[in-house]
A and B are shown apart, each in its own frame.
Chain A
Amino acid sequence: MSIASPPVPAPAADPGTTPDIEALQRHFDDTIAAEHRIEPRDWMPDGYRRTLVRQIAQHAHSEIIGMQPEGDWLLSAPSLRRKAILLAKVQDEAGHGLYLYSAAETLGADRADLTDKLIEGRQKYSSIFNYPTLSYADVGVIGWLVDGAAICNQVPLCRSSYGPYARAMIRICKEESFHQRQGYELLLTMMRGTDEQRAMVQDAVDRWWWPSLMMFGPPDAESPNTAQSMAWGIKRHTNDELRQRYVDMTVPQAEFLGVTLPDPELSLDPETGRHRFGAIDWSELKRVISGEGAMNRLRLARRRAARDDNAWVTEAATAYAEKHAAEKRA
């Protein structure tokens, strides 16, 4: 049996005896309680496996679709330096998707099948990628705010109870730091430029600030599944905790940059040292995620085209492999 194959669903019992599910469940619970990792071939409850497949698959889809908003600027990068940086960043996002599909496969999923479910709209990706990138400043703001929010979400996932997911997240987090810094540096450069460039940065911040807050999901009161995921160790902090941490981290960065975050209610609470912020328009998140964002159809159409129009590449690679295997045999 391969190390990547799905875990044995039932214990190896003597033929004719029924598996002791209660003992297995206890062993699983103890492993989680001890903060040890669950590994692919361990027994795990069905709900844990299903939740992980959903979470890892939709995370992977977000990385893959996330290549598109910035990819739109690859051919219009203002310098060779910026183009090389952006290309590396977009390529990283492809890598993130593939690390995650690899982790999902250890749970018995199949990555070609997951891709089909994405293209058919049956599995989703993060709503943030359904907004258009209107200027080059968006590239900087995405690196700063969107990758910054992703870092807040992802760092705790490095301690996920599921080993392959946690290991993928460690690798991803190392790379995300470059994403955020290249974005912030790009914005610093533009802010030192002309009035027009400063206005571009402010405009991009105005458009991306609220969607970046929505990335953390609805308020805790409306997230009944969070408790189970936290008990399983596959979610480490609630949506509101992560959002608050993100706001507190980002406000001083905005001040340094010299941009205004588009929230008149944003203020530091001197007692707690934390920032208060205005109400989020959740109807917008719901609209965008259910397909009414500016870019939903385009994102999926392009992913579909990448699969279908490039099928000849995989066919050619298969033919090449077969030819070489035949030559070796001869």
Chain B
Amino acid sequence: MSEMTAEGGHGAVPLSGVPVQPEPTVSRRDWPLYEVFVRGKRGLNHVHVGSLHAPDAEMAVHAARDLYTRRNEGVSIWVVRSADVTASSPDEKDPMFAPSGDKVYRHPTFYDIPDDVPHI
């Protein structure tokens, strides 16, 4: 009997002999992946909440409503195809964000103002 542990929420499952590499399968649907963004309430930004597969954007919005807003979590949903997202690379971490790192004068705390100046 292979080793088991309480991996995940609902309890003990086996650890060995469990394949984890993706393989081509009969049920693969080739529906694109959409990233889902929800505006929690008016006045807030849309925030990324997860992803789902759907045959098109319209059905992605409907599926996102059922999946991510079952308890009034949102007043507006955006979906965008994951493939259309352009992201910075984690390897660019230093060069990408360095230009803002040394510009301390962009922060209000950079400036010394005497304590007795009101409302500033």
Give 1 or 0 for each of B60-74: 1 = CB within 8 Å of chain A CB.
Answer: 000000010011000
Cβ of A70 within 8 Å of any chain B Cβ, yes or no, is no
Contact A290 B1 (CB under 8 A): yes
Segment at the B interface, from A123-131, A192-200, A263-271: A123-131
Residues of B within 8 A of A5 (CB): 82
Residues of A within 8 A of B5 (CB): 217-218, 223, 225-226, 229, 235, 239
What CA separation (Å) do A42 and B84 show in the bound complex? 20
Q: Which of A62, A111, A128 contacts B53 (CB 8 A)?
A: A111
**How near does chain B come to A306, taking the closest CB pair, in angstroms?**
11
Q: In the complex where A1-B89, A2-B82, A3-B82 touch, is A320 in contact with B22 (Cβ < 8 A)? A: no
Q: In the complex where A63-B9, A217-B12 touch, is A113 in contact with B25 (Cβ < 8 A)? A: yes
How many A-B Cβ pairs are below 8 Å? 208
Contact A117 B29 (CB under 8 A): no
Contact A63 B89 (CB under 8 A): no
**How near does chain A come to B92, taking the closest CB pair, in angstroms?**
8
Contact B82 A4 (CB under 8 A): yes
Cβ of A182 within 8 Å of any chain B Cβ, yes or no, is no
Cβ of A166 within 8 Å of any chain B Cβ, yes or no, is no
Contact residues of A between 11 and 67, Cβ < 8 Å to B = 11-12, 39, 41-43, 50, 53-59, 62-63, 66
Contact B29 A318 (CB under 8 A): yes
What CA separation (Å) do A172 and B68 show in the bound complex? 11
Contact A218 B82 (CB under 8 A): no
Residues of A within 8 A of B10 (CB): 59, 62-63, 66, 125-126, 128-129, 146, 149-150, 153, 215
Nearest chain B residue, comparing its CB with the CB of A288? B12
Residues of B within 8 A of A290 (CB): 1
Cβ of A75 within 8 Å of any chain B Cβ, yes or no, is no
Contact residues of A between 87 and 144, Cβ < 8 Å to B = 88, 91-92, 95-96, 98-100, 102-103, 105-106, 108-113, 115-117, 122-129
**How near does chain B come to A11, taking the closest CB pair, in angstroms?**
5
Give 1 or 0 for each of A228-254: 1 = CB within 8 Å of chain B CB.
Answer: 010000010001001000000000000
**How near does chain B come to A124, taking the closest CB pair, in angstroms?**
5
Nearest chain A residue, comparing its CB with the CB of B16? A225
Residues of B within 8 A of A55 (CB): 7-8
Cβ of B102 within 8 Å of any chain A Cβ, yes or no, is no
Interface class of chain A by DSSP: helix
Contact B20 A320 (CB under 8 A): no
**How near does chain B come to A49, taking the closest CB pair, in angstroms?**
8
Cβ of B91 within 8 Å of any chain A Cβ, yes or no, is yes
Contact A105 B7 (CB under 8 A): no
Interface class of chain B by DSSP: loop
Q: Which of A42, A88, A164 contacts B90 (CB 8 A)?
A: A42
Q: Which of A2, A96, A150, A289 contacts B33 (CB 8 A)?
A: A2
Nearest chain B residue, comparing its CB with the CB of A100? B8
Nearest chain B residue, comparing its CB with the CB of A108? B22
Residues of A within 8 A of B85 (CB): 2-4
Contact B12 A214 (CB under 8 A): yes
Cβ of B75 within 8 Å of any chain A Cβ, yes or no, is no
Contact B22 A153 (CB under 8 A): no
Residues of A within 8 A of B86 (CB): 1
Q: Which of B1, B7, B31, B53 contacts A54 (CB 8 A)?
A: B7
Given A63-B9, A105-B51, A149-B10, 8 other A-B residues pairs in contact with their CB atoms under 8 A: A53-B20, A91-B70, A102-B50, A108-B22, A112-B29, A125-B10, A153-B8, A153-B10
Give the top 3 A-B pairs by smallest Cβ distance, nearest first: A59-B8, A215-B11, A321-B55
Instruction: Point out residues on A near B: beta carbons under 8 Å.
Output: 1-5, 7-8, 11-12, 39, 41-43, 50, 53-59, 62-63, 66, 88, 91-92, 95-96, 98-100, 102-103, 105-106, 108-113, 115-117, 122-129, 146, 149-150, 153-154, 157, 164, 167-169, 171-172, 175, 214-218, 222-226, 229, 235, 239, 242, 285-286, 289-290, 307, 311, 314, 317-318, 320-322, 324-325
18 residue pairs of the A-B complex, CB under 8 angstroms, read: A3-B35, A12-B91, A12-B92, A54-B20, A59-B9, A62-B9, A62-B11, A95-B70, A105-B51, A110-B25, A111-B53, A112-B28, A113-B24, A122-B18, A124-B14, A127-B11, A154-B9, A320-B59
